[in-house]
Chain A
């Protein structure tokens, strides 16, 4: 199949533009997705890492949740799923999703501030049972 020369340029052009968009899109919007333990390790390795926006998944430590009276400011502690000694405090200034409880598994986006409190800008709850009960739940 012989294609017009100018046409070939057009094809390559489209491919190049799409690749460029994807490339810059990824490099400008990507975030590290870490566990609390990994985040702590990174920060102790390189203190400037505190200013990097990251995504962290962990579990809310039961009983640590509190809310500033009359304001949408929530504080709670999050622990690593594997290593419960790895924890940090989180401050979240927005409405919590309905699925949030004080033992939820959560995915947070934000950055660890200089004071060691994680300022979360988004909070998603993650649970395998969102739409389906785990079979073992049925036994209880």
Chain B
């Protein structure tokens, strides 16, 4: 199985090269036989990549430590579940996994379009095979072959880093990768449109659902990563503005811009060059993220090995994609002219454009902060860095502007908003937002940025709820349906619009959760058993935590665990006992480094979060010395942090509604663009 997998990788490369050539040749010469061959080569490469991936998984399951990759990421004691996830535990497997996902999505695309959209398919297949060729070259020639053998046979593997042995970490990378790879399909269609000259909004309509799918996985993947960081990394936060986190945020920002700007092209025939550029940019950023996540180019807590060969290959690939796309766009510039122009500053087009500009501004700021150390070193010879304060400073105002647009965009009129339209749509929400902010201020919330965020969030929520209410009421009246049925039909008939509004609600929740961090409480104390610490919540109540003592268990539980030192803390709220929390230090068999497991008591309004920072004399404690009980405890109160996870859930539901295949495809597609954004259609 393993040898077959390795062999498959070598066969896949010539097949992929063949497919690339046949796709482009077939497109140019309009020869159906060549195109068919290219399409079949996609299936072939996907099967071969599946075999190769199965080979890697088999090597993990069979404890084949003669393979460098298996020896570095697994050991005999590792649970089967984590052995299965070995495929994406490290750089080598991840690259193969990436290629596998592209192959998988490419096969779906070829199958869906086996009889439709034939004018696009030759080039689509050519581009997709070209991308697969690139990844196969990297896998085989950039010293990252997952099947590389060691010169000797180790008795056991190094084991998987304990911090990665967490369920969030098992699903976070593949979810992100699904997001990155799904975006190759819109990119392939965009390039195909540039090549075949069909530059109306057809390619956008065809890939709408792919874009949304990619966006869905990216969003969910990012939130999974935040959740992992919050639960597992033991520092109480969820976002560190680490280069790798930033790398996953960048394509999300540009993909979000693209999701919005395509609506202008569909409705008003504008922004064609812009949309092309956004697709190319987003695709490049997904490649950049893939590369950055698994290289040690920038100092990062996620960094893996320092491999320069692969850096050069990736930069060459990204450079040629950029140059090729730029040439194509310039060549097609005459056909990419706008059919309309923006008529008014106060219009939906304009709101969308500002949304785009601001998202790109945010992407630029994040990119700049991420690569700044490299640029500064190159220019001045001095290594200079910027940290989380930079990103926070820059992104707070940008984020607030975006949040406001999430409310303005859905209700401002297309073309030209009249004064009446503005007053009718915005007077009540603005007042509502101001009242919410005022009430919160009266209740004691004084942090200006947090207050503004909550006020603006309330403004957006008011608008969206009103939209739902108006739509439902109108439908109930016209169709004579009950309220719930009317709401259901309303959403079903125009999934993209109403799904999008639900996503906006999720975003508002997430932002409100971020703003809660302004009221984080952080208390540290050195404690002996029986000591208590008092922590005041910003919501007015107080917690009393009593350290009950340390208990050590040796060699129990998970197979990889050597010992755990568990601190037990009982918790009282306003003097009334409400339960207990534990936080522990762990030592795994396979890792020299300690692990901290935090204790979290979640409630809808706030989390009580404890971290066992240090044990005075860990060696004595592990040897059950009853006197070695002194510990350092960190207690955090994290207001509204759960709103981030709730918001993520709402966002996921909203995008799934937008993604769900429409049963009324034809009817909906025939509708002329109305006052609403266009509707869900066929992929």
Interface of A toward B, CB cutoff 8 Å: 1-4, 6-7, 10-11, 14-15, 17-18, 21-22, 24-26, 28-34, 55, 70-72, 94-96, 98-99, 101, 107, 109, 124, 126, 128, 130-135, 137-139
Q: In the bound complex, do residue A72 and residue B72 qualify as a contact, i.e. CB atoms below 8 Å apart?
A: no
Closest 4 CB pairs of A and B: A95-B613, A18-B361, A33-B383, A133-B158
Q: In the bound complex, do residue B385 and residue A128 qualify as a contact, i.e. CB atoms below 8 Å apart?
A: no
Q: In the bound complex, do residue B341 and residue A3 qualify as a contact, i.e. CB atoms below 8 Å apart?
A: yes
Determine the distance from Cα of A1 to Cα of B265 in the docked complex, in whole angstroms: 14
Q: In the bound complex, do residue A124 and residue B345 qualify as a contact, i.e. CB atoms below 8 Å apart?
A: no
- The segment from B53-61, B245-253, B364-372 that touches chain A is B364-372
Interface string of B45-59 (1 = CB under 8 A from A): 000000000000000
Q: In the bound complex, do residue B385 and residue A31 qualify as a contact, i.e. CB atoms below 8 Å apart?
A: yes
A21 and B385 in contact (CB under 8 A), knowing A14-B354, A70-B630? Answer: no
- The segment from B121-129, B436-444, B589-597 that touches chain A is B589-597
Q: In the bound complex, do residue A131 and residue B383 qualify as a contact, i.e. CB atoms below 8 Å apart?
A: no
Q: In the bound complex, do residue A30 and residue B386 qualify as a contact, i.e. CB atoms below 8 Å apart?
A: yes
CB nearest neighbor in B for A71 = B526
Q: In the bound complex, do residue A95 and residue B614 qualify as a contact, i.e. CB atoms below 8 Å apart?
A: yes
A131 and B304 in contact (CB under 8 A), knowing A25-B386, A33-B383? Answer: yes
B303, B337, B353, B632: the one within 8 Å of A128 (CB):
B303
Question: B657 CB to closest chain A CB, in angstroms?
Answer: 31
A134 and B354 in contact (CB under 8 A), knowing A21-B393, A34-B383, A98-B596? Answer: no
Residues of B within 8 A of A14 (CB): 354, 357-358, 361
CB nearest neighbor in B for A55 = B385
Residues of B within 8 A of A32 (CB): 382-384
Determine the distance from Cα of A60 to Cα of B632 in the docked complex, in whole angstroms: 23
Question: B356 CB to closest chain A CB, in angstroms?
Answer: 10
Instruction: Tell me which residues from 348 to 392 in chain B have a Cβ below 8 Å from any Cβ of chain A.
Output: 350, 353-354, 357-358, 361-362, 364-365, 368-369, 372-373, 376, 382-387, 389-390
Residues of A within 8 A of B342 (CB): 3-4, 7
**B299 CB-CB contact with A under 8 Å:** yes
Q: In the bound complex, do residue B303 and residue A130 qualify as a contact, i.e. CB atoms below 8 Å apart?
A: yes
| 22 pairs from A and B in contact (CB 8 Å cutoff) | A1-B337, A7-B345, A11-B353, A18-B364, A26-B372, A28-B389, A28-B393, A29-B393, A31-B387, A32-B383, A72-B614, A72-B632, A95-B614, A98-B596, A107-B299, A131-B164, A132-B72, A132-B73, A132-B161, A132-B304, A134-B305, A138-B71
**B150 CB-CB contact with A under 8 Å:** yes
**B575 CB-CB contact with A under 8 Å:** no
Interface of B toward A, CB cutoff 8 Å: 68, 71-73, 90-91, 150, 152, 154, 158, 161, 163-164, 234, 296, 299, 301-306, 337-338, 341-345, 350, 353-354, 357-358, 361-362, 364-365, 368-369, 372-373, 376, 382-387, 389-390, 393-394, 397-398, 524, 526, 585, 592-596, 611, 613-614, 616, 630, 632, 634
Name the prevailing secondary structure of the A interface residues: mixed
Question: Which of A1, A70, A72, A132 has its CB near the most chain B CB atoms (within 10 A)?
Answer: A132
A98 and B595 in contact (CB under 8 A), knowing A29-B386, A131-B161? Answer: yes
CB nearest neighbor in B for A22 = B365
Residues of B within 8 A of A7 (CB): 342, 345, 350
Q: In the bound complex, do residue A95 and residue B634 qualify as a contact, i.e. CB atoms below 8 Å apart?
A: yes
Determine the distance from Cα of A21 to Cα of B390 in the docked complex, in whole angstroms: 9
A98 and B385 in contact (CB under 8 A), knowing A26-B390, A126-B299, A138-B71? Answer: no
Residues of B within 8 A of A134 (CB): 305
Residues of A within 8 A of B524 (CB): 72, 94-95
Residues of A within 8 A of B373 (CB): 33
Question: A40 CB to closest chain B CB, in angstroms?
Answer: 15
Residues of B within 8 A of A124 (CB): 301
Residues of A within 8 A of B163 (CB): 131
Determine the distance from Cα of A133 to Cα of B647 in the docked complex, in whole angstroms: 37
Determine the distance from Cα of A139 to Cα of B340 in the docked complex, in whole angstroms: 67
List 7 additional A-B contacts (Cβ < 8 Å) besides A11-B357, A70-B630, A128-B304. Answer: A17-B397, A25-B369, A29-B389, A31-B387, A32-B383, A99-B593, A138-B154
Determine the distance from Cα of A135 to Cα of B100 in the docked complex, in whole angstroms: 26
A3, A24, A28, A137: the one within 8 Å of B158 (CB):
A137
Question: B399 CB to closest chain A CB, in angstroms?
Answer: 11
A15 and B161 in contact (CB under 8 A), knowing A28-B393, A72-B632? Answer: no
Q: In the bound complex, do residue B72 and residue A138 qualify as a contact, i.e. CB atoms below 8 Å apart?
A: yes
Q: In the bound complex, do residue A95 and residue B632 qualify as a contact, i.e. CB atoms below 8 Å apart?
A: yes
Question: Which of A3, A107, A126, A131 has its CB near the most chain B CB atoms (within 10 A)?
Answer: A131
Determine the distance from Cα of A14 to Cα of B356 in the docked complex, in whole angstroms: 11
Residues of B within 8 A of A107 (CB): 299
Residues of A within 8 A of B365 (CB): 18, 21-22, 25
Determine the distance from Cα of A7 to Cα of B345 in the docked complex, in whole angstroms: 6
Determine the distance from Cα of A6 to Cα of B350 in the docked complex, in whole angstroms: 11
Residues of B within 8 A of A34 (CB): 383
Determine the distance from Cα of A55 to Cα of B302 in the docked complex, in whole angstroms: 19
A4 and B386 in contact (CB under 8 A), knowing A14-B354, A18-B398, A132-B305? Answer: no
Residues of A within 8 A of B390 (CB): 25-26, 28-30
Question: A77 CB to closest chain B CB, in angstroms?
Answer: 20
Determine the distance from Cα of A108 to Cα of B215 in the docked complex, in whole angstroms: 37
